[in-house]
Amino acid sequence: MTRQLIILLIMCLVFLSCGSNRGKTRTTGKVVVSVSVLSLFHPRTLTVRVLRGTQPELLLGNGRILRGSMFRINISDGKKLAVVSDDANGEGREVCLVTPAGKPWRGEFVLLVPGETERKYRGELRVVADDGNLVPVIRLPVGDLVRGVLASECSASDPSVFLRVQAVAIRSFILASRGRHELADFCDNTHCQVWLGSGKTEQPFREAAEATTGIVLTANGHVVPVPYHACCPGVTRTPAEVWGKTIPGITSVRCGYCDDARHHVWTWKVTAERLRNVLHESSIEWQNESPGKGVASVRVDGSLLSTEQFRMKLGRVSGWNKIYSNSFAVSISSDTLLFYGHGFGHGVGLCQEGAKAMSRSGYSMNTILNHYFPMLRVEYR
Ligand SMILES: [Zn+2]
Ligand SMILES: [Zn+2]
């Protein structure tokens, strides 16, 4: 009996020791994710220029190999790619860069959409033909994507504590919401998170991403896809108010730190006729929460939109610098509309301007995260 107890005790100690090691080992940086890039440009022609790494080969879907350091890829009939390299050409449904041993090639390269953009990336590359467009998909470690999104969202001169707070939010979103797209885990625009490539490598971004490796926000043991936005309207909004859905542990908090930010208060003046023309709609009616209060919803040609849906609808056709947020009131004088609003962005989760101001006032990363996410835990994974 005593012997059985000793064996049980040893087994418990082994289990507990494994558990504590598991808690301390930061494994999330090694997770690899995929991102489809450049979709905003609907590329039909793409140039791949290899910058660094052993010379790759381009593997066509049919097993054919092209060699070179520059490949030009075109859509040939909507479903196929035509590829031209330094000295040969070929066709296939998809292509990827491989090593001479046939393994996925990982290195640094530039993707160029002629007349549109040129961006530098580091990772593995696959290009797929989809619906008449080329879809480049890049696989890279989570840590590299955190740094890249951070460099796309923030400035290297932002306070270092704020950069760490933002890195934790970015990592939490990535780890909690893989598989958002058919061809890749994420896209590179605001639908997921903005990623403008691996070209910006300033020290503050590297430092913030590395110092927070493995740190995420959790609720009930699960990583939470925490949203963030530029500036809240004074009180952050709930996912239910803005998107009609809940996100575990994301609630509304009084911010108190972004009152001096540039877009904390904004106005926009437009004639009703101009607004109808921009939106290609014949009637727009404003429905207030109560007389004299802010707009609760907008009836556009009979369809009832939330203020967030209206902001997105206008932003897509007219840019994001007209109606900055979903918290606004409208006053009407003859045919002129005056919008008076607060905040920039959807208003849910982390208020970037507030977090920057808290950083400048000397608050720690954990204090800032606890302020905006009082129901979440800061954890190592
Ligand atoms: Zn997306
Ligand atoms: Zn705020």
In sequence order, what DSSP letters do the residues of 38-100 get, joined into one string? Answer: -GGG--SEEEEEEEESSPPEEEETTS-EEESSEEEEEESSSS-EEEE-SS-EEEESEEEEE-T
H or E element: which one contains 36?
strand 32-36
4-60 tens-digit pLDDT: 545 444 444 433 333 333 334 455 657 999 999 999 999 999 999 998 766 777 777
Q: Ligand 2: distance of its center to the CA of 264 in Å? A: 8
Average pLDDT over every residue of 196-208: 93
Q: Are residues 291 and 156 in the same domain?
A: no
Distance in angstroms (rounded) separating the CA atoms of residues 134 and 38: 9
Among residues 17, 19, 25, 18, which one has the least CA distance to residue 213?
25
DSSP string, 259-287: TTSTTSEEEEEEEHHHHHHHHT-S-EEEE
Q: Are residues 99 and 193 in the same domain?
A: no
Distance in angstroms (rounded) separating the CA atoms of residues 116 and 204: 29
Distance in angstroms (rounded) separating the CA atoms of residues 363 and 204: 18
Ligand closest to the CA atom of residue 255: 2
263 touches 351 (CB < 8 A): no
In a domain, residue 250? The reply is: no
Q: Are residues 124 and 192 in the same domain?
A: no
CATH number, residue 46: 2.60.200
Angle, CA of 185, 191 and 196, to the nearest 5°: 80
Among residues 140, 233, 232, which one has the least CA distance to residue 195?
140
154-201 tens-digit pLDDT: 999 999 999 999 999 999 999 999 999 999 999 999 899 999 999 888
121-166 tens-digit pLDDT: 999 999 999 888 999 999 999 999 999 999 999 999 999 999 999 9
Dmax over CA atoms of the chain, in Å, equals 92
Ligand closest to the CA atom of residue 190: 1
Ligand closest to the CA atom of residue 228: 2
Q: Domain of 203?
A: 144-227+352-380
Ligand closest to the CA atom of residue 193: 1
Q: Are residues 282 and 374 in the same domain?
A: no
Q: Ligand 1: distance of its center to the CA of 191 in Å? A: 4
Q: Total structural domains in the chain?
A: 3
298 touches 305 (CB < 8 A): yes
**pLDDT given for residue 377 in this prediction:** 98
CA distances from 73 to 48, 119, 240, 322 (A): 8, 16, 43, 38
Q: Where are the alpha helices (DSSP H) in 78-194?
A: 142-153, 160-176
273-301 tens-digit pLDDT: 999 999 998 889 998 877 667 888 999 98
**Could you tell me the pTM of the whole model?**
0.87
